[in-house]
Structure 1
Amino acid sequence: MSKGFNAVGWFEIPVTDMERAIGFYETVLGYTLERHKLEAIDMAWFPMSPEGYGAMGSLVFNEEFYKPSIEGTLVYFSSPSGDLRNELDRIEAAGGKILVPRRAISDEYGYMAICLDTEGNRIALHSMA
């Protein structure tokens, strides 16, 4: 593997109601998602920079191929504010649920929390504060 590349290059989070899902993620994370309808797939891309830190990804809707789940892959979002308590304060008002409240991973790795989005997916938040 070449230096400078992360192992994960793209992720997709399944949704059943794209408008509701976009509203949840934009409210909690404070980003504007960019919607793209590509034939049978409806996507809403998270802000991305190929040179930036972390993986790029999208919300995705297709009844046949994507099903939200509380079991399975867990995507960690880096706290845009730098302190995940800020994003956690918006989870329930945006229609989500906190499953695991903020807790320390370690001094070296910071803090995490696990939430349920409006579509039934588990997601995690991470920050050093």
Structure 2
Amino acid sequence: MSTTPHAINWFEIPVTDFARAKAFYETVLGRPIETMTMGPSTMGFLSMGPDSVGGAIVLEEGATPSRSGTLVYLNGGDDLAPTLARVEGAGGSVTVPKTDIGSGFGFFAHFIDTEGNRVGLHSMA
């Protein structure tokens, strides 16, 4: 049994236009995305630090963006409002604005990315 405190170990967000998706997530997250080709897949790493949960945007055969599949929440930083504010300018759309979860669990929001995926953001403020 793993001793990691994280429920998620790795996630992949499917994309159909890698360059468009990379530009979207770089704009929204405010940081560069390292790209790597791994066999038939092109991956853009959203996080890879030793203390972070790893994840990537992925272009590969059979990977289809969806608004109704698994919902991944990205770290919205200290306050998800600035990150969420960049979504529409980057080509996405906000579907759930910053919302208080209550009971001290912080805030969440949802957006649709340029590929058609529903993605969440979470922050404590």
After TM superposition, the score normalised by the length of structure 1 is 0.91
Which residue is equivalent to 2:19?
19
Q: Distance in 2 between matches of 1:37 and 1:15?
A: 14
Distance 1:14 1:124 in 2: 15
2:59 and 2:68 mapped to 1: Cα distance? 18
Match of 1:75 among 69, 72, 76: 72
Q: Percent identity?
A: 46
Q: Which of 98, 102, 107 is 1:102 aligned to?
A: 98
Alignment-derived partner of residue 111 in structure 2: 115
Q: How far does the alpha carbon of each residue in 1:1-60 deviate from its partner, in whole angstroms, 9 at most, with x for none?
A: 23234232110000000000011101011121110012211111113212x14x201000
Would the aligned equivalents of 2:47 and 2:56 in 1 still touch at CA under 8 Å? no
Mapped to 2, the partners of 1:40 and 1:34 lie a distance apart of 17
Q: TM-score, normalised by structure 2?
A: 0.94
SS in 2 for 1:46: strand
Give the Cα–Cα distance (whole angstroms) in 2 for the partners of residues 37 and 27 of structure 1: 22
Aligned mates of 1:76, 1:47 — CA distance in 2 = 13
Q: Which runs of 5+ in 2 are unaligned?
A: none
What stretches of structure 1 move > 4 A for 4+ residues in a row? Answer: none
CA deviations on 1:49-108 (whole Å, 9 max, x unpaired) are: 12x14x20100001x32000001111101113x111101111100000000111100142
